[in-house]
Amino acid sequence: MRKYKRFNITWKIAIRKRQKSFFDSEVEFIVLSNPKNGWIADPFLFEYGNSTFIFAERWDYSQQKGVISYCKYDGNMNVVWKDILEEEWHLSYPFVWSDEEGFHILPEAAESNQLYYYTAIEFPDIWKRDKKICTGRFADSTLQFVKDNNYIYSYSMNGVKGRLYRSKIDFHQPTNLEWEFITKDPRIARPGGSFIEDMGTVYRIAQDCSASYGEKIVAIKIYEDIEGYHEEVEKEISFRDVRVPTKKGLIGTHTYNRTDKYEVIDLRYFGFNYKDFISHRWHELKKWLKTTKEN
């Protein structure tokens, strides 16, 4: 897998009106503007009232970690991002949903060695950390709502990394989990967005990072019968398939989501990012000075 230094990478997100066919590659996306203090990735869409919100990771240059931000999308590419969740550890992949108890965000917080979610006190601006689900390093956890059952799919970074597990989950008793192994295939193990139902078929969205990080997004048909749970790769979406105004420097994509109104995707670009480079060096210098002082 080819790796790049972080300050040679910039992520952006792009949006378009939802197309009739599942990921139509003929219609161009609009690339949204990044804030001055970071880049944006891992976008999730949420419709509330007549408004469309995009929740995403903002990589903070100065702190060298991810925080959760949102913007309200009104058709304009020059959106305004607002930070809403920040911890001592890195946050990303803000899976967002609502139920009878309110609005919730389940972020990737593997550095904390915990899996937990937030509930809104005042949507979309004020949130509190709510129930802990379990202890462990899990990434890109994604919920599937099926009739009377809720499932959580989590990419394990514990022990032997790179395995996908799922469990039924009751949010009144979220810690009662019985993990079921799904796959360790690097092409499909790591989630890349919310579950999608299209023409009566349910798809799990994954990110293929087997060749390089963000090489493809994969749509996987899932179903269950008397023999158990089954998966079948239905469609692969390379970053090369994404239509944007310019593909200069484009080298990847790893998150795709949609609602009845819009489709959103993130884009990985290669190119020297001087803001991130300067912040990275300053961050490393501060750590060195702190270590030197303690010793």
- Report yes or no on 55 lying in a domain: yes
- Report yes or no on 84 lying in a domain: yes
Distance CA 79, CA 126 (A): 20
Global pTM reads 0.95
- Report yes or no on 162 lying in a domain: yes
- Report the candidate in 271, 275, 266, 280 with the shortest Cα–Cα distance to residue 57: 266
- Report yes or no on 272 lying in a domain: yes
CATH code: domain of residue 24: 2.115.10.20
Distance CA 199, CA 46 (A): 21
- Report yes or no on 168 lying in a domain: yes
Question: What was the pLDDT predicted at 186?
Answer: 93
- Report yes or no on 1 lying in a domain: no
Q: How many domains does the chain have?
A: 1
Domain that holds residue 108: 6-294
- Report yes or no on 111 lying in a domain: yes
Question: What was the pLDDT predicted at 21?
Answer: 86
Q: Which long-range contacts (CB under 8 A, 24 or more apart) does 109-117 make?
A: 110/137, 110/138, 110/139, 110/157, 111/137, 112/87, 112/88, 113/137, 115/141, 115/154
pLDDT in tens, the chain (295 residues): 467 788 899 999 999 999 988 888 899 999 999 999 999 999 999 999 999 999 999 999 999 999 999 999 999 889 999 999 999 999 999 999 999 999 999 999 999 999 999 999 999 999 999 999 999 999 999 999 988 889 999 999 988 789 999 999 998 888 889 999 999 999 999 999 999 999 889 999 999 988 888 889 999 999 998 889 999 999 999 999 999 999 999 999 999 999 999 999 999 999 999 999 999 999 888 888 878 877 6
- Report yes or no on 250 lying in a domain: yes
- Assigned token pair, 107: 């972020």
Distance CA 4, CA 252 (A): 12
Question: What was the pLDDT predicted at 2?
Answer: 60
